[in-house]
């Protein structure tokens, strides 16, 4: 699977997809990793849908997918 990275400056998170994994890098440099098998909608989503996310008070919301992951 191709590497896809999205960083939204105002949210200061780095979201990366690689090898069927989701990597979330926090502003302090800490990283959380999630298998995409846990989130089939995100695993099967297009790069455009994966790039359409918003940071929430306690996680990340993929707007077009209706999916929120707590981080």
Which CATH number fits the domain that encloses residue 52?
Answer: 3.30.2020.40
d(C-alpha 32, C-alpha 37), whole Å: 15
Q: How many domains does the chain have?
A: 1
DSSP letters for 4-52? EEEEETTTTEEEEEETTEEEEE-TTS-EEEEEGGG-HHHHT--HHHHH-
What does the pLDDT read at residue 1?
46
Per-residue pLDDT of the chain (71 residues; tens, 9 = 90+): 445 555 554 468 899 999 999 999 988 899 999 999 999 999 999 999 999 999 988 889 999 999 999 98
* Domain assignment of residue 30, given as a range: 4-70
d(C-alpha 28, C-alpha 48), whole Å: 26
């Amino acid at each position: 699977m191709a590497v896809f990275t999205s960083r939204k400056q105002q949210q200061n998170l780095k979201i990366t997809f690689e090898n069927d994994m989701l990597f979330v890098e926090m502003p302090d440099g800490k990283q959380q990793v999630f298998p995409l098998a846990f989130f089939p909608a995100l695993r099967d989503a297009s790069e455009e849908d994966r790039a359409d996310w918003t940071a929430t008070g306690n996680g990340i919301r993929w707007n077009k997918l209706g999916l929120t992951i707590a981080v």
